[in-house]
Amino acid sequence: MENLIIGNIISFIAAISLAVSCVVKERNTVFFLQFLNCAILAVSSYFFGSYAAITTLVLCCIRNIFIIKDRFTLPVMLSVIISVVIFGLLANNRGIIGLLPVFATVEYTMCSYFIKDIKKTRISILINESIWVIYSLLIMDISTAAT
């Protein structure tokens, strides 16, 4: 129970950066705030015992750094996707539920490469977050699910 409380507190902090990323106007700022969100959520995932999420979130941080530095090329995107699938599957300790972070990360990684428009990026974020909300509810991460 203590781990659930700590995980939810940390997740709430991450949710703040995600919320702010939805209202900023510059694409790089969106991805910087999402980098923070992913890094903080990776820490909270430890407290939820969600190892597939930890690996995918760390890879999301790496992806976001490439995007911010304008070095997110097709080979980088494909490398991130392949790494997410391989490491996500290897670290998965939650069966089908543990695949949701993998699906969410692959979806958003592809959209991050192909979509450059800020409004379309926000739509992609909403799709991605819908997957993460379902996952969060299933692992009792109420802070992330509620925000």
- Note the pLDDT tens digit of each residue in 57-86: 999 999 999 999 999 999 999 999 999 999
In this structure, the dihedral spanned by the alpha carbons of residues 134, 90, 13 and 117, taken in order and rounded to 10 degrees, is -70
Report the percent of the chain where pLDDT is more than 90. 69
Residue 1 has pLDDT above 90, yes or no: no
Instruction: Tally the residues of the chain.
Output: 147
Q: Please choose, from the candidates 8, 63, 70, the residue with its C-alpha nearest in 3D space to the C-alpha of residue 40.
A: 8
Q: Please choose, from the candidates 84, 143, 109, 85, the residue with its C-alpha nearest in 3D space to the C-alpha of residue 34.
A: 109
* pLDDT score at 116: 83
Residue 19 has pLDDT above 80, yes or no: yes
Residue with tokens 């997740």: 11
Give the mean pLDDT of 89-103. 95
**In contact, 56 and 101? CB cutoff 8 Å:** yes
Give the mean pLDDT of 11-37. 87
Dist CA 126 CA 110 (whole Å): 14
Identify residue 95 by its one-letter amino acid code: G
* pLDDT score at 17: 87
Tokens describing residue 105: 């990360």
| Cβ burial, residue 57 (10 Å; 0-12/13-18/19+) | buried
User: pTM of the predicted model, to two decimals?
Assistant: 0.88
* pLDDT score at 134: 94
